[in-house]
């Protein structure tokens, strides 16, 4: 009996030892995997902080001049900087692991920064930044208006001045640091607008500027852009699709909603143009190559004079057409032109009336153009009291009508910009930014090197630290991390 009990007691002991070993192994496995998961979470945080630190090194000149965020650099250089910073964070954490819950040390084995499609040559990135900037400005203007009503305008102004002072101080420190760096100074020199040996030559006084440097022209973002023909948008529908009236109605409603949203976005981009670009009657605060920048966006010629004259022709044609509509819709003017046509030729009175009306509308348009170029306003659709010329009589002085309601020169530019293709408009905005940044700061400036978004991919390894020996081979503690970062 005793032998039998002793035999069973030994088996129980062995079983207990096996259960204890299995439980200990399970605890170690769980601890190991938990540590690996913790290391992965910490690696994600490290990668996030490292990537955000790269975004924090944005070009301050680009931001101050045009409100755009971008980091000057390329993928290999960014990989090197990011690797150094991740290694520094790993060493710092390793030195503090005794006071930390982290049971693993993180080591970056491979890093890759992909910048394809992330430069400011990407129109969508530029568009998103512009829309975000102008939406924020609209909110701030609304807050300022509320602040003035509530008596808080002084507080907001003090906050803005303090923030601007901090940015100016940081910019001075950055410039002093760049001056101390060696190498690459020739390419970082700004392009002077003055002198005979200029990178972008300055024209003689009184002449419009013309861009002739082919190297600058070939680098422009708009080079190679072709306008989309209206015929490429025509879609041939099948008979079944044409009979689907309900489906067509839904598509029409969707298109109308899309058009409304698109118009709102285009208005914000137009507001950006008038805030950061000059035009013939509104010079820029900082020196620019083109004096007529809004006109360049509309016409795309590399000459100030050509762009300015082309816009004047558009204004004249627009005002002639609108004035012609007014003549035919105004009973008195329509009667006068009909009587004049009947007195000249009876059978062809209608055709002669059209010629007389068109001539009268053109004369009024010439007066409107002169008024706009002098800083006055002209209503888009005129009333009888807004008319300045007589069919057979003198013209009123333009100075007598400057205080009338209507659109000024910039207002009519806004009408043309709203009718312009979105892609073409944005590309020419990017042209102006690149040209002026070359002239103000550094001649090798290019939007293709301005990184606003990038993807980081890395392979990390969690190495055991402390008392935990690690139950899995190093290859099983490798993990991949990937994330997209942008401003």
pLDDT at residue 157, as a whole number: 58
- pLDDT the model gives residue 7: 55
Q: What is the pLDDT of residue 89?
A: 82
pLDDT of residue 25: 74
The helix (run of H) or strand (run of E) holding residue 454 is: strand 453-464
The pLDDT score that the predictor gives to residue 13 is 79
In the chain, count of helices (H) and strands (E)? 15, 5
Instruction: Give me the long-range contacts of 209-215 (CB less than 8 A, separation at least 24).
Output: 209/289, 209/290, 209/291, 209/303, 209/304, 210/302, 210/303, 210/304, 210/305, 211/289, 211/290, 211/302, 211/303, 211/435, 212/302
Would you say how long the chain is, in residues? 487
What's the CA gap between 406 and 383, in Å, rounded? 11
Task: Show Cβ contacts of residue 438 under 8 Å, excluding neighbours closer than 6 positions.
Answer: 190, 191, 199, 200, 216, 444, 445
* Residue 302: other Cβ atoms inside 10 A: 20
| Residue showing tokens 């002085």 | 397
The reported pLDDT for the residue numbered 179 is 55
pTM of the model: 0.77
Res 231: pLDDT: 37
> Mean pLDDT, consecutive 10-residue segments, the chain of 487 residues?
55 80 77 71 85 92 94 89 86 61 69 90 94 88 61 54 61 58 48 44 55 91 67 44 52 56 87 94 87 94 94 96 93 88 74 90 93 92 88 60 77 94 94 94 92 90 59 67 89
Q: What is the pLDDT of residue 449?
A: 93
Q: Would you state the pLDDT for residue 21?
A: 82
Q: What is the pLDDT of residue 130?
A: 95
């Amino acid at each position: 009996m005793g032998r039998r009990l002793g035999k069973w007691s030994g088996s129980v002991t062995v079983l207990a030892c096996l259960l204890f070993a299995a439980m200990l192994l399970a605890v170690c496995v769980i601890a190991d995997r938990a540590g690996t998961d913790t290391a992965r979470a910490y690696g994600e945080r490290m990668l996030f902080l490292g990537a955000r630190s790269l975004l924090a090194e944005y070009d301050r000149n680009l931001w101050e001049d045009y409100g755009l965020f971008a980091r000057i650099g390329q993928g290999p250089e960014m990989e090197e900087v990011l690797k150094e910073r991740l290694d520094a964070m790993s060493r710092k954490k390793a030195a503090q692991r005794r006071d930390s819950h982290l049971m693993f040390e993180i080591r970056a084995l491979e890093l890759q920064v992909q910048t394809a499609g992330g430069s400011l040559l990407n129109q969508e990135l530029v568009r998103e930044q512009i829309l975000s900037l102008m939406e924020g400005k609209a909110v701030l203007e609304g807050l300022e208006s509320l602040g003035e009503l509530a008596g808080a305008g002084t507080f907001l102004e003090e906050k803005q001045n303090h923030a601007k002072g901090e940015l100016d101080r940081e910019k001075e420190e950055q410039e002093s640091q760049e001056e101390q760096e060696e190498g690459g100074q020739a390419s970082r020199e700004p392009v002077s607008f003055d002198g005979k040996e200029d990178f972008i030559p300055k024209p003689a006084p009184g002449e419009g500027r013309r861009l002739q440097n082919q190297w600058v022209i070939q680098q422009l973002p708009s080079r190679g852009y072709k306008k989309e023909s209206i015929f490429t948008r025509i879609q041939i529908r099948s008979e079944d699709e044409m009979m689907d009236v309900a489906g067509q109605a839904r598509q029409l409603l969707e298109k109308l909603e899309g058009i409304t949203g698109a118009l709102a976005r285009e208005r914000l981009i137009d507001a950006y143009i008038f805030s950061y670009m000059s035009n013939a009657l509104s010079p820029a605060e900082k020196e620019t190559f083109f004096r007529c920048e809004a006109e360049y966006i509309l016409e795309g010629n590399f000459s100030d004079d050509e762009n300015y004259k082309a816009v004047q022709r558009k204004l004249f044609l627009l005002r002639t057409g609108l004035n012609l509509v007014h003549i035919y819709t105004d009973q008195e003017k329509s009667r006068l032109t009909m009587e004049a046509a009947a007195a000249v030729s009876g059978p062809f009175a209608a055709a002669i009336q059209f010629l007389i009306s068109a001539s009268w509308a053109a004369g009024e348009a010439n007066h409107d153009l002169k008024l706009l170029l002098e800083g006055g306003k002209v209503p888009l659709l005129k009333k009888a009291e807004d008319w300045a010329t007589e069919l057979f009589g003198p013209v009123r002085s333009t100075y007598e009508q400057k205080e009338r309601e209507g659109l000024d020169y910039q207002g009519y530019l806004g009408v043309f910009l709203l009718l312009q293709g979105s892609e073409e408009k944005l590309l020419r905005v990017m042209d102006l930014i690149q040209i002026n940044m070359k002239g103000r700061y550094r001649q090798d400036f290019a939007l293709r090197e301005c990184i606003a978004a990038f993807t980081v991919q890395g392979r990390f390894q969690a190495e055991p630290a402390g008392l935990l020996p690690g139950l899995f081979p190093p290859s099983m503690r490798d993990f991949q991390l990937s994330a997209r970062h942008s401003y």
